[in-house]
Amino acid sequence: MPSPTAVRKIRGSARDTPALGTAEASDAVLVFQHADTEWRGGCSRRSGAAAAAGGHAEVQQWPEPLHRCTGGHSQEPPPEARGNQLYGHTFAVLKGELLMSQMLEPEVMHFVSEFGDLFTTMFTAYCDTPVMGETTHMTLTGFLRFCNDFRLFPEQVDFQTILWLYQTAEAREDRKPFEEAEAGPEPERAAWGRGFSRAARQSPAVDRSEVAMADPEDKNEADEQEEEEDDGLAVQDLSKLDITKLTPLSPEVISRQATMNVGTIGHVAHGKSTVVRALSGSNTIRFKQEKERNITIKLGYANAKIYKNDRADLDRPANYCSFGSKTPDVVPDEEGGNWRLERHVSFVDCPGHDILMATMLNGAAVMDAALLLIAGNESCPQPQTSEHLAAVEIMRLKHIIILQNKVELIKEQQAQAQYEEIKKFVAGTAADSSPIIPLSAVLKYNIEIVCEYLCTQVPIPPRDFLSSPHMIIIRSFDVNKPGEEVNKLKGGVCGGSIIKGVLKVGDEIEIRPGTTSKDASGNTTCKPIRSRIISLAAEANSLQFAVPGGLIGVGTKIDPTETRGDRMLGQVMGHPGKLPDIYIEIEVKYYLLRRLLGVKTEGDSKAGKVSKLKKGEILMVNIGSLAAGGRIVSIGDDDVGKIVLTNAVCTQEGDKVALSRRIDKHWRLIGWGSIVKGKTITPIESKVP
């Protein structure tokens, strides 16, 4: 049995599991099939030596029965039911599915909120090799034991996959050029954060197409230089930058970066992604599963430039059009005149599926205006038509354009009848006086009118360029190919939108709340991540500085595994020491909707009413781009609720929150509020590498 130090050196290889040492995968299955019969139904805790020798140590029972987290199911669910339970979630994570979306599933959120300590115990139990101080390491044996106890292995995940996952996770330790190496040893994390969870966080091969839009480094240096010299766009020169003179319409800004975010909202399959494609020429569906299922799962994004022709004899709406974000600011028209840049827009394409409401709310946090898609061949409103409209109203969005889509599928009379339905539906809402444009996104009919209205009906939002920068992160990526040479690794990329201030290449930055964990007394601690901006981009356009509005990608020196798979979602970026406080408990002045919007309910039935908040109830709380679990600990007479959050959040008094309740296994929007005060935590100091 190697010493702990030796184990640490060779971890990631099958050698720390002698039973598997020289064995092929089939041998491994035999060993662990045997173990499975021994350990079924309990949490096995064995010393590293005992595990390595294949012997058994004491078997501990769970401090709490696991079935409580799965809504009263027995501890031994039938195989066909596993996909819906914690097994399913863990399995999905193992298979590299979106960790973030798994964490937002109601079951997982409830589990984390109610059984956080159990989680810690669970992972501590499986971490079988002490490394330094309180920190422990999970050997491959420990990882296999975990998978085995949860019936993942060998039934659902084969040995090769587990070994690959484990090695991928461990490869992280070799990535020393990044902050960890420069800033000294990583802070001690809760034990469960080091072993399995780290392995589980690793997603398989990075989907290059997925990150291309936000990847400021996805070009070789020669290409980049050539592009910068001759990309036909206005030049950004940091040495000449005078922020006090910048506006969203300054040529060096609008030429390269979108300066407003327009969300596409509405019921599933009503044409949100199709209209973005028609406007921008870019396909927002990039994630592999999205392609397979033909639905939007993550937030999509694409930029478009909107132009007006300067020919006086050209009538509306033919005098408006849109091109991709790289297009020069003046484009000659073959038929005469020039197309001149009027607006540069980032489209935030939200998923319309009812189970992805949390993702929609993340997107709503950065929207300045919205296109509400309503399919002409369905009655209005459909459940997410109402729910999305309510969500953007909560975010106090005033500029909404309604697109009555798929009109080529219906007769004129039907279109007229639906127009009346839509008018009735939006009466009294933020979309009361919104224009309604009949559209065929797929055939690009009336797309020019959408372009015209985006210029004439949506004013450029007032922007604060002078305050300290504050960026909401809505996506994050590891842009390295699997197996990349250590010296060629690129730092983590964060995508999002600046709310105020200007970020520049070379700036020192801080990401809050950063790395969170629990201390020995179970209190949440967090250590903001410090780094430096090494590149900025707006889609394929490189930037020297980025301003509020529009989606940008920020290339940093952060360890890329920290940004992989949207792990930075919910955090904010700014200058060190200049971001708001970090809260773990908030008091919210709240308002509840009268009726549930996201589900079909019959007439005035009781089922559709939103009941009062209850003490002890768990809600999903959206603050900025964070979706956190929240337990209500008290409710005052003045409709102020005190909520303890499962995740620390960088926010401030006055910020808006959206509240969702678990109904029929899904989160449904039930109300909103604003933060009146809260309990903050003092972050652990971190150095800028």
Ligand X SMILES: Nc1nc2c(ncn2[C@@H]2O[C@H](COP(=O)(O)OP(=O)(O)OP(=O)(O)O)[C@@H](O)[C@H]2O)c(=O)[nH]1
Given the rule CB under 6 A, which residues bind ligand X?
A: 268-274, 295-296, 351-353, 373, 405-406, 408-409, 440-442
The CB-of-285 to ligand X minimum distance in angstroms stands at: 7
Q: Which residue has the tokens 């219906």?
A: 410
> Kind and range of the H or E element at 274?
helix 272-280
- Residues 669, 117, 183, 511, Cα dihedral to 10°: 10
Q: CA-based Rg of the chain, rounded to a whole angstrom?
A: 26
When the beta carbons of 197 and 303 are compared against ligand X, the nearer one is 303
Give the nearest distance from C-beta 350 to ligand X in angstroms. 7
Nearer to ligand X, 175 or 353 (CB): 353
- For residue 348, the minimal CB distance to ligand X (Å) is 12
Nearer to ligand X (CB atom), residue 297 or residue 547: 297
Whether 448 and 309 have beta carbons less than 8 Å apart is answered as: no
Say how many C-beta atoms besides its own lie within 10 A of residue 417's C-beta: 14
CB of 370 to ligand X, least distance (A): 13
Q: Cα–Cα distance between 534 and 507 in angstroms, integer?
A: 8
DSSP letter for 460, please: P
For residues 75 and 66, is the Cβ–Cβ distance under 8 A?
yes
Give the shortest CB-299-to-ligand X separation in angstroms: 10
CB of 325 to ligand X, least distance (A): 20
Backbone angles phi, psi at 674, to 5 degrees: -135, 150
For 119-156, b where at least 16 C-beta lie within 10 A, e where not — what string? bbbbbbbbbbbebeeebbbbbbbbbbbbbbbbbbbbeb
Identify which of residues 426 and 441 has a Cβ nearer to ligand X in the complex: 441
Sign, CA torsion 534/540/543/545:
negative
For residue 409, the minimal CB distance to ligand X (Å) is: 5
Question: Residue 56 CB, nearest distance to ligand X (Å)?
Answer: 49
Nearer to ligand X, 98 or 632 (CB): 98
Query: For residues 133 and 188, is the Cβ–Cβ distance under 8 A?
Result: yes
Closest separation in Å from C-beta 422 to ligand X: 16
Contact (CB, 8 A) for 537 and 216:
yes
Nearest to 440 by CA among 428, 431, 449: 449
Of residues 354 and 507, the one with the C-beta less far from ligand X:
354
- Tokens 């139990």 belong to residue: 125
Cβ-based nearer residue to ligand X, 181 or 409: 409
Q: Least distance to ligand X from the beta carbon of 270, Å?
A: 5
**Of the two residues 191 and 278, which places its CB atom closer to ligand X in the complex?**
278
Q: Using DSSP, state whether 70 is helix, strand or coil.
A: helix
Please choose, from the candidates 214, 298, 288, the residue with its C-alpha nearest in 3D space to the C-alpha of residue 490: 214
Cα–Cα distance for residue pair 653/182, rounded to 1 Å = 35
* Minimal distance, residue 277 CB to ligand X, in Å: 7
Q: Round to whole Å and give the CA distance between 256 and 6.
A: 52
Give the whole-angstrom CA distance, residue 474 versus residue 496: 5
Instruction: Please identify, using beta-carbon distances, which residue of 351 and 629 lies nearer to ligand X.
Output: 351
Residue 361 or 582: which CB sits closer to ligand X? 361
Of 14 and 441, CB closest to ligand X: 441
Q: Residue 351 or residue 496: which is nearer to ligand X going by CB? A: 351
Report in angstroms how near the CB of residue 388 gets to ligand X at its nearest: 10
Task: Indicate the residue among 30 and 409 with the shorter CB distance to ligand X.
Answer: 409
Residues in Cβ contact with 276 at an 8 Å cutoff, skipping those fewer than 6 apart: 264, 282, 284, 300, 302, 347, 349
C-alpha 232/C-alpha 541 separation (Å) is 11
Smaller CB distance to ligand X: residue 375 or 533? 375
Taking CB atoms, the residue at the shortest distance from ligand X is: 352
CA angle 581, 583, 584 (to 5 degrees): 160
Tell the smallest beta-carbon distance from residue 418 to ligand X (Å).
Answer: 14
Contacts of 682 (CB under 8 A, 6+ apart): none
Nearer to ligand X among residue 27 and residue 378 (C-beta): 378
d(CA 197, CA 120): 11
SS3 for 461?
coil
DSSP 8-state symbol, 522:
S
Q: Distance between CA atoms of 666 and 490, rounded to whole angstroms?
A: 37
Distance, CA of 550 to CA of 536 (rounded, Å):
13
Q: What are phi and psi of 686, to 5 degrees?
A: -135, 155
Q: Are 609 and 595 spatial neighbours (Cβ–Cβ below 8 Å)?
A: yes
| Contact partners, residue 561, CB within 8 Å, separation at least 6 | 172, 175, 201, 202, 478, 492
Closest CB 21 distance from ligand X, rounded Å:
48
**Min dist. Cβ of residue 427 to ligand X (A):** 24
